Structures are given as C-alpha cells and as structure tokens.
Amino acid sequence: MISKELAYKKALEIKKTALDEKRLRRSTLLSAAYASNPRLKELDSQLSGIGAQIAISALSGGSDAVEQLKKTSEALSLEKAQLLKNLNIENLSYDCPLCQDSGYINGKLCGCVKELAKGIISKELSAKMPIDECTFESFDLSEYPDIDGKEGNPYKRMSGILKLCREYADNFNPDSSPNLLFMGAAGLGKTHLSLAIAGEVIKKGYLPVYGPAENLFTTIEKERFSGFGAESDSYNSMISCDLLVIDDLGAEFMTSFSKSILYNLVNTRILAKKPTIINTNLSMKEIEKFYSPRISSRLIGSYDARKFLGNDIRQQKAMKG
C-alpha cells in the first residue's frame, strides 16, 4: 500500500532524476563542443563584453549605442545557437513546459506530478491485485444464475449491483460519494467490483488506498510499534485518502488493536464525509459479534449495504478448468 503523499514524493523524485540526467547529458555535450570549437568560447567572451557595454551605455544615456549593441548581441547569439544546432546540441527540452520539470508552479504541485502519482498508485495496486483484469467490462454476469431463490434472483441482484458500481465510479466525488458495504459469501465478485471502482477513480485523477483488512491493519500496527505512533503515514493516508477500500474484512486476525483501528477509520471518515468501501463475508450480526455494536451501528446508519448472491465463481472456473 502506498500513500498519496509517498506517491507524490516518488513522482517528484522521478522528475528530478530525469531533469538531472538531461542537464548532465547536455553539459557533457557542451564540454566536448567547447573543447573542439574555440569559436564558442570567443562568442561567450564577446557576448559577456557586450553585456557590460550595454550596462555602461544605458547609464550614460547613449540609447543609439545601446540599440546597436543589442543588435550585435542578437547576431552573436544566433551564430552561437546555429553552431550548437549543427553539433546536434539543442536547448534543454522539458516534458512539462508549465513547470519546466520542477514539479511546482508558484509553489503548488504541477498537474504533471499528480498524473505521475496516479501511475505510481496504479502500478502499486496492479502489483498486488489484478486491477487491470478487474474491470466493469470483464465482470461476467452470465456466471450468476437467472433463477429465483430464497434470497432473490442472483442475476437480477448482481445486474443491479453492477449498475450501482458503474454509476458510483462515473459520479465519484471524494467529498460527497456514499459509503458502500459489500456483503456475501466468498467468490461472488466483491473484490472484482471494488477494484473496478478503484481503477476508474484513478483515471479520474483521484488516489485511493486499497488493501485487505489484514494488510492494512498490520501495516498500521507495525508502524505504531516501530515508534511511529498512531499518527503513522499509513494511518494518515487511510484517514485522508480520496477513497478507502477495505477488502475481506473479517479474514484478518482480530485483536483489540485491529478492532480499535477499524472503528477509528470508519468513524473518522464518516465524520469527515470521506467515502469508504468495505467488503466482507460476514453478516451484520457477525460484525456486531466479532467487532462491536458501535461499528455495526455506524455501518448500518452510514453505509449503503448490498448483499451479493450466486455461487462461488472461483470454484466454478476451477471445476471448468
């Protein structure tokens, strides 16, 4: 899991490294050019001298002399530029002309850094979860039987949930999107649809934090007992990110610490009106039993709960294979 802040830091480091490499390559080429072309040094010397003469003439009020010196300076500059061009040494080119690859415009992060950070987050997610495979297009409704059962019709239920998830991703807003609670047995597509939402959120320029409950809680616990305290980078990232997705809640090793962290994450993000998606195989009664009534109460009151129906898709695919 990588935080938004760390993604920005890595993006800035990548831009700085690339800019330093460009400058070094151009500096090396210039050094070789000056060593083999004495005229370049002569031009620099003449331009420097003219610059001093312009300053003196301007102070003495010689406007005609200043204009003549400027024309001479322009001619020498053009000669130098042409000479460098003939040697295939161009002016430094920037990937982002707006910030000239510094990463900042007037002290604020440039959009190019945010775009690069999106790629870093996406790559990090892809390395741990099949985000490229888990899209709305690859979600196969034919895996769900169109048969009425005790809890309803799986095909119709999942068609509705897929529609909900698409609309959620299309209209995502980190300040107003609702919280979602995906419930149901294993292998019904909860992770798939959560990753599909996360992928679309990234494309919109927002940065989610996604991970199994076990990984997220363990990361916070390790940082806390390593001396970082409760206000660790990971904890802060989960609290402040545009979208938090907690996958497989209930599969983690439950401790008083993990229960406390879950409550803090859920409650703090509700108060801050930050959207969260939670996937779990547990029922609401089991959540109340294994965690606490306070947590189940907040999930009931502040989350849009959806029960997934059907047969374990992973088992079906394994049997077919």
Least confident of 71-75, 124-128, 183-187, 260-264: 124-128
**pLDDT for the residue 228:** 44
**34 and 164 housed in the same domain:** no
**163 and 274 housed in the same domain:** yes
Threshold 0.85, pTM exceeds:
no
Q: What is the CA radius of gyration of the chain?
A: 30
**Cβ proximity of 284 and 299 under 8 Å:** yes
Of 24-28, 45-49, 98-102, 219-223, the range with the highest mean pLDDT is 98-102
**142 and 284 housed in the same domain:** yes
For 108, the token pair is 């604020």
- Name the band, by pLDDT with cuts 50, 70 and 90, for residue 127: low
**Cβ proximity of 284 and 305 under 8 Å:** yes
**150 and 278 housed in the same domain:** yes
Domain stop point among 55, 86, 117: 86
Residue 195 lies in a domain: yes
Domain ranges, residue 213: 129-320
Domain stop point among 86, 105, 137: 86
Long-range CB pairs of 280-285 (<8 Å, 24+ gap) are: 280/181, 280/182, 280/183, 280/190, 280/248, 280/249, 280/250, 281/183, 281/184, 281/185, 281/186, 281/248, 281/250, 281/251, 282/183, 282/249, 282/250, 283/183, 284/183
**pLDDT for the residue 53:** 80
**Domain tally for the chain?**
2
**pLDDT for the residue 230:** 42
